[in-house]
Amino acid sequence: MIRIILFLLLIALGAAGAAWIAEQTGDVALSWGGYRAQMTLPVFVLALGIVIVAAMMMWAILRGVWRTPQRLRRNRRERRQARGRHAITQGLLAIGHGDSSAARMHADAARKHAAHDPLALLLHAQSAQLDGDREGAQRAFRAMAEREDTRLLGLRGLFIEAQRADDPVAAVMLAEEALKLSPSSSWASHAVLGFCCAKGDWAGALKILDNNQSAGLIDKATYRRQRGVLLTARALELEKVDRDMARESVMEAVKLAPTLVPAAVLASKFESEAHQVRRSMRLVEAAWLAQPHPDLADAYSHVKLGDSARQRLVRVETLAAKAPGHIEGALAIARAAIDASEFGKAREALAPFINQPTQRVALLMAELERTEHGDSGRARAWTLRAVRALHDPAWTADGYVSDRWRPVSPVTGRLDAFQWQTPVAALPSDKGPAIESSPFEEAMLATPRRAVVIAPPEAANEPVAEPVAPNKPEPSAAPVAPEPSAAQDNTPPASVAAEPAPAEASRPEPAAEPTPAPQKPAESTPPQPAPLFRSRKDIPKAVPAPIPAVIPLVRAPDDPGVDEDGPADEFAEQIGTPKAQAGGWRGFLSRWGGN
pLDDT tens readout for residues 209-220: 998 888 888 899
Is residue 524 over pLDDT 60? no
pLDDT at res. 130: 86
- Is-contact 382 358, C-beta < 8 A? no
Lowest-confidence pick of 13-17, 210-214, 293-297: 13-17
pLDDT higher at 281 or 426:
281
| Percentage of residues in the chain having pLDDT higher than 70 | 71
Question: How, if at all, do strands 419-421 and 394-397 pair?
Answer: antiparallel
pLDDT at res. 194: 85
Is residue 568 over pLDDT 60? no
pLDDT at res. 272: 92
Is residue 490 over pLDDT 50? no
pTM: 0.59
Task: Give the pLDDT band of residue 515 (cuts 50, 70, 90).
Answer: very low
Q: How far apart are CA 195 and CA 201, in angstroms?
A: 8
Q: Burial level of 174, CB count in 10 A (0-12/13-18/19+)? A: buried
pLDDT at res. 108: 86
C-alpha distances (whole Å) from 204 to each of 78, 163, 188, 208 are 50, 22, 14, 6
Mean per-residue pLDDT of the chain:
77
pLDDT at res. 557: 46
Highest-confidence segment of 7-21, 110-124, 235-249: 235-249
Sheet with 419-421, edge to edge strand ranges: 400-402, 394-397, 419-421
What average pLDDT score do residues 68-73 get?
88
pLDDT at res. 439: 59
pLDDT at res. 427: 55
